[in-house]
Amino acid sequence: MDTTPDTVKDAQNPPLSVSLLNLDDITEHESPNAFNCSAPDVVFQELPHHISLAFTIHGCPFACAGCHSEHTWDAESGNALTDDAFLAYLSQYQGLISAVVFLGGEWNRQALTNKLKLAKAQGLTTCLYTGGNHVARSLRAHLDFVKLGPWIETLGGLDSTITNQRFIELKDGELWQDRTHWFQQNASSSSQQNMLQNSSQNNLHTTQTLNTFTHQQGVSYASA
Ligand code: SF4
């Protein structure tokens, strides 16, 4: 008999159907053009098969217990990512990246939509990491991938086989394919490599813990 609490089952099985993001009550400071972010990083793991420029947007309202990016919760911290600043970054990395990843920012829907449109216009693949289980239709229209779900320490990130989080490929603005297994395959492969390395070093008791990602709540992007 399955004794898993319903709350855990719900978290492990977020609905794949989508509805409007339930953050309407916290968008009173929404600016159509800018939100604040940290300096972007070139990342390889957050969106498999791509070299991405990742923007950590400040002001996350989800307040997950155990968040590794609590220092970014203040929306006034960081620097304004205006459209001009965003375009300057894309120009700086032109030819070096194939995608942009936004770690948060969905609470400022218009500003994020504008950035996604600018990235798409340059032929870049787009990805959003959100702590919510839903993404607004207006955002989905400009996204190729989305990571859904809050950080729940007992369930782990995308590399965990019991994670509540899902990494979804979108098609024509709708959730299309669950690609979470991409991260779990990487985790398995990396774990084997680590075990081999440790074995060769005659250090069988300290199998290196995989440094894979979970959203901003433990993501292994360069500045974390
Ligand atoms: S874990 Fe991610 S979604 Fe949760 S509070 Fe931290 S930044 Fe926000």
Could you read off the pLDDT of 156-215 as tens digits, one per residue?
999 999 999 999 999 999 999 999 999 997 555 554 444 334 333 333 222 222 223 334
Beta carbons within 10 angstroms of residue 70's beta carbon: 13
Q: Say if ligand 1 is within 6 A of residue 105 CB.
A: no
Domain boundaries, the chain: 6-200
- The residues with which 88 forms a beta bridge, in sequence order, are none
d(CA 25, CA 212): 33
Which residues, other chains included, contact 197 with Cβ-Cβ below 8 Å and sequence gap of 6+?
208
Q: Say if ligand 1 is within 6 A of residue 89 CB.
A: no
Residue 204, token pair as written in the block:
């069988």
Distance 38 CA to ligand 1 centre (A): 15
Could you read off the pLDDT of 106-143 as tens digits, one per residue?
999 999 999 999 999 999 999 999 999 999 999 999 99
**pTM given for the model:** 0.75
Q: What is the CATH number of domain 6-200?
A: 3.20.20
Distance 177 CA to ligand 1 centre (A): 24
Q: Say if ligand 1 is within 6 A of residue 219 CB.
A: no
